Amino acid sequence: MQSVFRVLVVEDELKVASFIKKGLEDYGLEASVAMDASTAKKRLQTEPFDVIILDVNLPQISGLELCQQLREEGCLVPVLILTAMGQVENKLAGFDAGADDYLVKPFDFSELLARLRALNRRSALSGGSTSRLLRAADLVLNLDDRSVVRAGKRIELTARELKLLEVLLANQGRAMSRAEISQKVWDMAFDSGTNVVDVYINYLRKKIDRNFSPPLIQTLTGIGYMLKAEN
Ligand code: CA
């Protein structure tokens, strides 16, 4: 039985990208193409993928740089580098950048498929799927191990701060009243006289926003708060 999974193909040569996409789809996999690194990043922030096929020679940001950035930002999606550069030092550079596998062009399609399946299986076993990550800009909350990373730095939060961050991330881009936040985080609506929500928002800000840019938590006067990553 063949399990369906989603592959992001990062490749700037249209012919090669279409060939890979079509080949994957013929085998029942879902495939999307991003032709440069910034497009790939945007897709990864908003859609779940199980495996990334990554070319090295890309315009602006190289595949290796992209791979390194993704790892620094906490992205755990397995990366298979697919390139014409087959020297040992090229491969080592790929693995140093955080890649999980390396295949040299020209390649045999059945070998590519076998490697993708192996990566997907390993990732599923370790629970490393994008669907378990909440992210905004360079901040990532991993729901599996409850870790928080911003700009590659691990941030320690208390259980309540973590819950607050989870609620804000799950509702990002949406204005939330203090009553709604307290209902979701504390399971009760506080009297309007208490400032518990504001106190915890301040705790959280000190940890996730103070030493980073841009700030993610916004105060909406007369309404409440909103977590938003500006583009
Ligand atoms: Ca290329």
Model pLDDT, residue 89: 94
Joined tokens for residue 5? 């999974």
Sequence-ordered alpha helix ranges (H) in the chain: 14-26, 37-46, 63-72, 88-96, 109-125, 159-170, 178-186, 196-208
Question: How remote is the CA of residue 53 from the centroid of ligand 1, in Å?
Answer: 12
| Cβ-proximal residues to 94 (8 Å cutoff; 6+ apart), any chain | 56, 64, 67, 81, 83, 102
Model pLDDT, residue 18: 96
Model pLDDT, residue 130: 46
pLDDT along the chain (231 residues), means of 10: 73 96 90 96 84 96 96 88 94 95 95 93 61 80 84 90 94 93 86 85 97 94 92 58
Model pLDDT, residue 125: 64
Flag whether the pTM goes above 0.75. no
Question: How remote is the CA of residue 36 from the centroid of ligand 1, in Å?
Answer: 9
Could you report the per-residue pLDDT of 196-229, keeping only the tens digit for each?
Answer: 999 999 999 999 999 999 999 999 999 999 999 8
Question: How remote is the CA of residue 118 from the centroid of ligand 1, in Å?
Answer: 24
Model pLDDT, residue 1: 34
